[in-house]
Chains A and B, each alone.
Chain A
Amino acid sequence: MLLFQAFLISIFCYLGALSTPWLFGLTGGWYTLSRPLVSGLIIGIIVGDVTRGIIIGVAVQAVYIALVTPGGQMPADLNFVAYPAIALAVLSNASTGVAVTLATTIGVIGTIVFNLFQVGNSFWNHRAATAIEEGNERSFHVNTVWGPQIFNFLLRFIPSFLVIYFGAGFAKTMLNSMPKYILDVMTFLGGALPALGIVMLLTVVIKKNYMWAFFLFGFVAIVFLKLNMIALTMVAVMVAIIFYFAISNGNSSKGSTNGTDNSSDSGEDEEEF
């Protein structure tokens, strides 16, 4: 049973990898299957405990809510977080706090595999370049699609399968015999680590200090006004619309006098707001 589950989960692990083309590229793979929210559902279905899968998926997702990977630089390998790590947590009955800490650790280790893939592909790339030079279409396809994808499959499937198949029992025994001190720390970290996901997102969105006001608005709306996420999103849409008209009006009055220089205009507007 575990053999079959580990096999299926590892297939999904490959399908959700960053470079896997089969589900409309990174759209259906990396940005869909490799989101812990989605992988929690899939792993839940495979191991027969959907509720548990999703609850752990949501907890882990909070850490990786905004993982931007410019130029393939990765702070964490979300694919290994989404599949072997969450599978391990679900199979070993870990609490959400322990699951998050476990997943974060595996995510950092997983970046090694991602770097290996990127470095290894130089080999295929040079062969593909030679194939184009020689006008060899078949070789171009083999070295662009099939070679790198077989390589990708091996790098994703094998570690995932080994971790799930041999790790599940081990993780369960380990969690049961773990000193309370370590479990407490892991549970604590599970609550604190989502802060890092949020901070990664904030480094992208907060370019001007006044943006903190909007962040605090959202924070306070949950903590004091007790809105849920859907209500908050609706309020946020309305605030964004008001903001849009506020900055548009500011510009049109000025636009009539100083014409085309829009970049400096909008810069001034931001500070005035």
Chain B
Amino acid sequence: MDNQTKLLDKKTIHKSYVRWMMFNLVATSYEFLEAFGFAYAMEPVLKKLYEPDSPEYKEALKRHAIFFNTEPQLGALITGITVGLEEQHASGNQEIDGDFISSLKVGLMGPIAGIGDSMIPGMLIPILLSIGMGLAGGGSVLGPLFYIVAYNLIAILGSRYLFYKGYELGTASVDLFVGDVAKKVTQAITVLGTIVTGGVAASYVNVPVNIKIQMAHTSLDIQKILDGIFPSLVPLLVVFVSWYFMAKKHVSPIKLIVAYFIIAFVCYGIGYGIMAL
């Protein structure tokens, strides 16, 4: 790929990156999802490569206005690769035709979405948020400010790097994410995230057991006894049982929310009932 012809100038490539990052979800429908965001990002590039109003231009733009869905920030890699491939296609590389570009996009969007969703909203954001929430104790502005700066720096610099790596290396850049080292780094970061999640659970889940049993001379406070053995044991059990239903029985989050509401209303109802007697 060293001897490929460069038809695009820096400004056009950058414009495509900015358009992708801004407009990737601009007009999402269940039918097309990110299709038109992608086409909109490719427009400056295609305009440079082909005469506007030429059949080639129209065909190229149409090729990108089809169903596309991935995690947009990690997906900057796919946009970068596509810009590089369109450039080679326009410069007359016979091996890279329109079908090749389309099928490459379709082939990459699934894996990148999988990795992206589990790494960004599933890992990076929870880790940064839990640090931010820790710093926000007592209402300190430091918490939200930390999150705003840290997340945006990582996401913008990261996606920019990915886009340009994709453009320069083409399909070879995908190895950055599916290679063996990448897999192990992912596993290690998952360990980091899981530990932090444990900390978040201990800090923010609060399920008090307000049962006090009146005896002849003393009263038995169940919560106090539990605290003596294992503080936050009940929250831990609630997390475990909810996880079992969501992960193993495939109960949706909304159904679980409803279940929580019903259980809370019933338990407090019984409690108030007993007190009224």
Residues in chain A within 8 A of chain B (CB atoms): 18-19, 21-22, 24-28, 31-32, 35, 37-38, 40-41, 50-55, 57-59, 61-62, 65-72, 75-76, 104, 108, 117-122, 124-125, 128-129, 132-133, 135, 137, 140-141, 143-145, 147-149, 181, 184-185, 188-189, 191-196, 198-206, 211, 214-224, 227-230, 232-233, 235-237, 239-241, 243-244, 247-248, 251, 262, 266, 270
CB closest chain-A residue, reference B230: A223
Give complex CA distance A239, B53 in Å. 58
Within the assembled complex, what's the spacing in Å between the Cα atoms of A192 and B257?
A: 10
Given A145-B40, A201-B126, A215 contacting B197 (CB threshold 8 A): yes
Cβ-based interface call for B228 (8 A): no
5 A-B pairs besides A26-B72, A192-B206 with CB distance below 8 A are A125-B32, A145-B40, A188-B208, A196-B257, A240-B192
A147: chain B residues at CB < 8 Å are: 27
- Chain A residue numbers with a CB within 8 Å of B155 are 27, 31
B16 within 8 A of A: no
Across-interface contacts of A40 in B (CB, < 8 A): 144
CA A248 to CA B159, docked complex, whole Å: 27
Q: When the two chains form their complex, are residues B39 and A71 in contact, meaning their CB atoms are under 8 A apart? A: no
Residue of B28, B73, B201, B208 with highest tally of chain A CB at under 10 A:
B201
Per the bound structure, the CA–CA distance linking A135 and B198 in Å amounts to: 54
Contact A192 B29 (CB under 8 A): no
A215 to B189, CA, bound (A): 13
Name the contact of B207 in the complex, choosing from A76, A191, A218 (C-beta under 8 A).
Answer: A191
Q: How many residues of B contact A (CB 8 A)?
A: 109
Q: Mark B59-71, 1 if CB is under 8 A from A, else 0.
A: 0011001000100
CB distance from B248 to the nearest CB of A (A): 10
Q: B78 at the A/B interface (Cβ < 8 Å)?
A: no
Q: Do A218 and B69 contact each other (CB < 8 Å), given the known contacts A27-B159, A206-B243?
A: no
Contact of A121 among B27, B152, B197, B243 (CB under 8 A): B27
B21 touches A24 (CB 8 A): yes
- The 3 A-B pairs of least Cβ separation, nearest first, read A218-B198, A229-B134, A191-B206
Chain A residues whose CB sits within 8 angstroms of the CB of B239 once the complex forms: 195, 198-199, 202
Given A119, A133, A200, A232, which contacts B196 in the complex, CB threshold below 8 Å? A232
Partner of A219, one of B37, B183, B185, B201: B201
Q: Assess whether A51 is in contact with B138, with CB atoms less than 8 Å apart.
A: yes
Contact partners of A117 in chain B: CB under 8 A: 28
Name B232-266 residues within 8 Å CB distance of A.
232, 235-236, 238-239, 242-243, 246-247, 252-254, 256-257, 260-261, 264-265
Segment of B84-92, B99-107, B117-125, B215-223 in the binding face:
B117-125
Residues of A within 8 A of B151 (CB): 27, 31-32
* Nearest CB of chain A from residue B154's CB, rounded to whole Å: 10
- Taking A28-B152, A62-B133, A135-B58 as contacts, is the C-beta distance between A200 and B268 under 8 angstroms? no
CA distance A67 to B117 in the complex (A): 10
Q: Which residues of A contact B152 (CB under 8 A)?
A: 24, 27-28, 32
